[in-house]
Chains A and B, each alone.
Chain A
Amino acid sequence: MFLGTLYSFKTNTRTVCLLELAKLLDLQVDLVETYPHKFSADLAAKFPLQKLPVFIGADGFELSEVIAIVKYFYEKGKHNDKEGLGPVNEVEEAEMLKWMCFINFDIVTPQNVRPWVGMFRGNIPYEEKPFKESATRAIDSLKIPNELVKDRTYLVGDRFTLADLFFGSLLRIFFNSIIDEKTRKELPHLTRYYITMFHQAKLETYFPLELPLTVTVAKK
């Protein structure tokens, strides 16, 4: 079933889970390569914030906000859900929403990601003090989810779900960059969780599992 078009790029932090979800549910979704704040005039008129990802259905339906898109994709494809990705009751549904909102609005936030991610990628010039301060702040915020996943294999219920696909894929932005070997030992439960979900979500289709020994910023 051709559902519509996503506007984003393949390795975008909040897009990988949508591409994989579409695949798991046999939904045909096109990806038009788009970058934040670089939308075409037409697209910018529909989505003034110019943030990724955004979706336009084959029927003209316009949707932004990644969690809303996840929900929409799942509702459209749940008859093809062979792996029990969705909730079995309203409690599980609420819990899934809780975990997705938590990682999206409390962990992967501008306050936790800037300015170190720009420096890491080479988009902005490296400065040691702001890099270290912001990276430390990000790692501190990850101590909370590290404890939260200590007593569980999966986030909701006892199988891999939408929540794990979403949560696991959003963690990549930290694990492939500022979480070095020493830091992984300080976050053992979250590391165990990330590695397991990386494999179960089959994310190697989109990017390799990178667990750097040391933090290496883009060379100046």
Chain B
Amino acid sequence: MGFSDLTSDAGLKQLNDFLLDKSFIEGYEPSQADAVVFKAVGVAPDTAKYPNGARWYKQIATYDLATLPGTAKEVSAYGPEGAAAAEEDEIDLFGSDEEEDPEAERIKAERVAEYNKKKAAKPKAVHKSLVTLDVKPWDDETPMDELEKAVRSIQMDGLVWGLSKLVPVGFGVNKFQINLVVEDDKVSLEALQEELEGFEDYVQSTDIAAMSKL
């Protein structure tokens, strides 16, 4: 659709609404889009009725229109997106018949059972994750070295602590960031976080900053 007759009340209202959240017609700098629409509007919109349009018009009037960047198009190419795209016939090319073949269902169930049996027999691989954990102190006076000792004092089967560092957060506060490796079947990260947050003298909260499979 785009802009229609910009000398009419309806057109100016359309422009005004469009420019509520925009300084320029396209992007964040003036361009030929603004030049085209400016010429189509012709005279300064009434400030009381169309405040956004008036603000924009006043600004574009300060430029030499010919020097603005971009390529000029028809005025109707600019403005709110058209609704024309929604008028297609709705043909469901991927719909399926509701019919169910009981024999096919039986065969499918049989194959699934066979697959599960085969899978169960396979020795289970040890799945591990590499996790980066953020531990946040109460304030800038929390003793971070004691916080680190407290964190590393947690021992669990399947948990290995790695490198750590302090990351500035702002206002002189650092958070403690530590890498760890966990065996997924043995260690619950939620339980670990709860245990960390149990160190109430040091820990305000924890976050999992990153996580990936090893």
Contacts and interface: CB of A to CB of B under 8 A. Distances in A.
A121 B21 CA distance: 28
Contacts of B51: 150-151
Given A37-B172, A118-B171, A123-B170, A218 B23 contact: no
Nearest to A118: B171
A154 B58 CA distance: 11
B20 A188 contact: yes
The A contact surface, by secondary structure, is: loop
Query: Which 9 A-B pairs rank lowest in CB-CB distance, beginning with the nearest?
Result: A35-B172, A199-B28, A158-B62, A196-B23, A153-B59, A38-B172, A220-B205, A192-B21, A122-B136
Nearest to A220: B205
Contacts of B169: 121-123
Interface in B174-214: 175, 204-207
A103 interface: no
Contacts of A196: 22-24, 28
B173 interface: yes
Given A9-B168, A122-B175, A152-B58, 19 more contacts: A35-B140, A35-B168, A35-B172, A38-B140, A118-B171, A121-B170, A121-B173, A123-B169, A151-B47, A153-B56, A158-B59, A158-B62, A192-B23, A195-B28, A196-B23, A196-B24, A199-B27, A199-B29, A219-B207
B139 interface: yes
Interface string B106-143: 00000000000000000000000000000010111000
A191 interface: yes
Contacts of A188: 20-21
A36 interface: yes
Contact of B205 (A158, A200, A218): A218
Contacts of B206: 219
Given A35-B172, A37-B172, A218-B205, A125 B23 contact: no
A210 interface: no
A124 interface: yes
Contacts of A123: 139-140, 169-171, 173
Chain B CB within 10 Å, residue with most, of A36, A150, A153, A195:
A153
Interface residues of B, number: 31
Interface residues on chain A, size class: 20 to 34
Contacts of B33: none
Interface of B: 20-24, 27-29, 47, 51, 54-56, 58-59, 62, 136, 138-140, 168-173, 175, 204-207
Interface of A: 9, 11-12, 33, 35-38, 118, 121-125, 150-154, 158, 188, 191-193, 195-196, 199-200, 218-220
B128 to A, nearest CB: 25
22 contacts: A11-B170, A35-B140, A35-B171, A35-B172, A121-B170, A122-B136, A123-B139, A123-B173, A125-B138, A150-B55, A151-B58, A154-B59, A192-B20, A195-B21, A195-B28, A196-B22, A196-B23, A196-B28, A200-B28, A218-B136, A218-B207, A220-B205
B136 A153 contact: no
A94 B31 CA distance: 30
A218 B51 CA distance: 39
A153 B23 contact: yes
A124 B205 contact: no
Contacts of B58: 151-152
A152 B28 contact: no
A112 B54 CA distance: 32
A192 B25 CA distance: 12
A195 B23 CA distance: 9
A63 B207 CA distance: 39
Nearest to A13: B170
A35 B139 CA distance: 13
Contacts of B24: 196
